[in-house]
Protein backbone atom coordinates (compact mmCIF):
# COMPACT_ATOMS: atom_id res chain seq x y z
CA UNK A 1 0.00 0.00 0.00
CA UNK A 2 1.49 3.30 -1.07
CA UNK A 3 0.94 6.71 0.53
CA UNK A 4 -1.30 8.94 -1.57
CA UNK A 5 1.57 11.20 -2.71
CA UNK A 6 3.05 8.33 -4.77
CA UNK A 7 2.01 6.68 -8.00
CA UNK A 8 3.31 3.38 -9.32
CA UNK A 9 5.75 5.36 -11.46
CA UNK A 10 6.99 7.72 -8.72
CA UNK A 11 7.24 5.26 -5.81
CA UNK A 12 10.79 4.89 -4.50
CA UNK A 13 11.69 1.28 -5.22
CA UNK A 14 15.31 0.42 -5.98
CA UNK A 15 15.05 -3.32 -5.37
CA UNK A 16 15.22 -5.29 -8.64
CA UNK A 17 13.29 -8.22 -7.21
CA UNK A 18 10.37 -6.04 -5.99
CA UNK A 19 7.52 -5.34 -8.37
CA UNK A 20 4.77 -2.80 -7.67
CA UNK A 21 1.33 -3.56 -9.06
CA UNK A 22 -2.06 -1.94 -8.76
CA UNK A 23 -4.73 -4.23 -7.36
CA UNK A 24 -8.39 -3.38 -8.03
CA UNK A 25 -10.38 -2.35 -5.02
CA UNK A 26 -12.47 -5.17 -3.60
CA UNK A 27 -16.22 -4.72 -3.71
CA UNK A 28 -18.48 -5.89 -0.97
CA UNK A 29 -21.67 -5.22 0.82
CA UNK A 30 -22.43 -1.51 1.15
CA UNK A 31 -23.63 -1.91 4.74
CA UNK A 32 -20.31 -3.54 5.68
CA UNK A 33 -18.42 -0.76 3.93
CA UNK A 34 -20.38 1.82 5.93
CA UNK A 35 -19.68 -0.09 9.16
CA UNK A 36 -15.93 -0.20 8.46
CA UNK A 37 -15.99 3.45 7.44
CA UNK A 38 -17.52 4.38 10.82
CA UNK A 39 -14.99 2.21 12.67
CA UNK A 40 -12.10 3.78 10.78
CA UNK A 41 -13.41 7.29 11.49
CA UNK A 42 -13.85 6.44 15.18
CA UNK A 43 -10.38 4.85 15.41
CA UNK A 44 -8.75 7.83 13.69
CA UNK A 45 -10.50 10.16 16.15
CA UNK A 46 -9.29 8.10 19.11
CA UNK A 47 -5.74 8.08 17.77
CA UNK A 48 -5.81 11.85 17.20
CA UNK A 49 -7.16 12.48 20.71
CA UNK A 50 -4.53 10.16 22.21
CA UNK A 51 -1.74 12.05 20.42
CA UNK A 52 -3.10 15.46 21.43
CA UNK A 53 -3.38 14.43 25.10
CA UNK A 54 0.32 13.59 25.03
CA UNK A 55 1.33 16.80 23.29
CA UNK A 56 2.28 15.14 20.00
CA UNK A 57 1.97 17.23 16.85
CA UNK A 58 0.39 15.38 13.96
CA UNK A 59 1.84 16.26 10.55
CA UNK A 60 -0.45 14.23 8.34
CA UNK A 61 -3.91 12.79 8.00
CA UNK A 62 -4.67 9.33 9.43
CA UNK A 63 -4.22 6.50 6.91
CA UNK A 64 -5.95 3.13 7.13
CA UNK A 65 -3.59 0.19 6.55
CA UNK A 66 -5.17 -3.15 5.75
CA UNK A 67 -2.89 -6.20 5.86
CA UNK A 68 -5.13 -9.19 5.33
CA UNK A 69 -7.19 -10.31 2.35
CA UNK A 70 -10.97 -9.75 2.39
CA UNK A 71 -11.67 -13.45 2.91
CA UNK A 72 -9.77 -13.51 6.25
CA UNK A 73 -12.24 -13.95 9.15
CA UNK A 74 -12.85 -10.62 10.88
CA UNK A 75 -11.48 -11.78 14.23
CA UNK A 76 -8.14 -12.72 12.65
CA UNK A 77 -7.62 -9.54 10.62
CA UNK A 78 -4.79 -7.15 11.36
CA UNK A 79 -5.52 -3.53 10.52
CA UNK A 80 -3.96 -0.29 11.66
CA UNK A 81 -4.55 3.42 11.47
CA UNK A 82 -1.30 5.28 10.84
CA UNK A 83 -0.54 8.94 11.36
CA UNK A 84 2.73 10.82 10.99
CA UNK A 85 3.95 12.85 13.96
CA UNK A 86 6.53 15.65 14.13
CA UNK A 87 9.87 14.92 15.72
**What pLDDT sits at residue 49?**
92
Tell me how far apart the alpha carbons of residues 87 and 73 are, in angstroms, rounded to a whole number: 37
Domain count, the chain: 1
- Domain that residue 68 falls in: 30-82
Give per-residue pLDDT as tens, 18-28.
888 887 765 55
**Would residue 34 count as lying in a domain?**
yes
Task: With a cut of 80, say whether residue 87 has pLDDT above it.
Answer: no
Find out whether 60 and 45 touch, Cβ atoms under 8 Å: no
**Would residue 5 count as lying in a domain?**
no
Tell me how far apart the alpha carbons of residues 30 and 47 are, in angstroms, rounded to a whole number: 25
pTM for this model (two decimals): 0.53
**Would residue 18 count as lying in a domain?**
no
Share of the chain above pLDDT 90, in %: 10
**Would residue 49 count as lying in a domain?**
yes
**What pLDDT sits at residue 26?**
59
**Would residue 42 count as lying in a domain?**
yes
Amino acid sequence: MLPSQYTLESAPCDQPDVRLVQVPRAGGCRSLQRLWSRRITRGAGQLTAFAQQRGLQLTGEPVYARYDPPFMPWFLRRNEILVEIAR
